[in-house]
Amino acid sequence: MMKIYIENMPLKKVKDKLKVLDKYYKDHNSVIEVLSESGVFIVDNHNIFKINYHDDKLSKVENYLNKFDLWIETVNETKEKVFNLPLNHVSSQIVIIEFKIINTSSVTMIIEGSFSLDETSHEKELAKTKDLNDEKQFYKKRMEYENYKVDNFYFKVDDNNYPLKNKVKDELNVFLSLLN
């Protein structure tokens, strides 16, 4: 897998474009990321995984579309299911939102962040949305509000596609034009 980062793209600008990006909404997932001296762990659907990174490579493409400097990270990671977390760690909840131009797109825009609702507000808001059947629709609906804090974003590209050729380039250009 490859991750493409845009150098010096303000996170506020990404947040301001969430409503524009919403028509490309694909999915979301809420995970807990755990950092410790023993490594990085993800708690997802009550399962704990240790993330092992192997041979990551980083390269830079300057002046892409006469405007953007891109960092391309080749990521080779494996998930190992574990049954406990290290005693000393730091954790944070992350809501990962995915956007795709079409379902078969090679490029997925990933936005990582969190909602700044306290639990009481969350329950009140969920109760107000009687027409929304599940938590997934609730979080999608929340994208219209100002309480989502963007912490990171990048583009994920399937392994078998070089990131700046043909279809991948076209899909990346669509997202970059929306962010511009």
Domains of the chain and CATH, by start: 2-175 (3.20.100)
Six-digit token pair at 107? 């490029």
CB burial class (10 A; 0-12, 13-18, 19+) of residue 36? middle
Residue 71 and residue 7 in contact, taking contact as beta carbons nearer than 8 Å: yes
Nearby residues of 17 by Cβ (< 8 Å), 6 or more positions away: 178, 179
pLDDT tens, position by position, 101-131: 999 888 999 999 987 755 545 555 555 544 4
User: How high is the mean pLDDT of the chain?
Assistant: 83
What is the number of residues in the chain?
Answer: 180
Question: Is the CA virtual torsion 21, 112, 14, 57 positive or negative?
Answer: negative
- Could you tell me what percent of the chain has a pLDDT over 90? 50
Nearby residues of 96 by Cβ (< 8 Å), 6 or more positions away: 28, 29, 30, 31, 110, 111, 112
Tell if the pTM clears 0.85, that is, is over it. Answer: no
Beta bridge partner(s), residue 78: 52
pLDDT tens, position by position, 28-42: 888 999 999 999 999
Q: Return d(Cα 91, Cα 102) in angstroms, integer.
A: 33
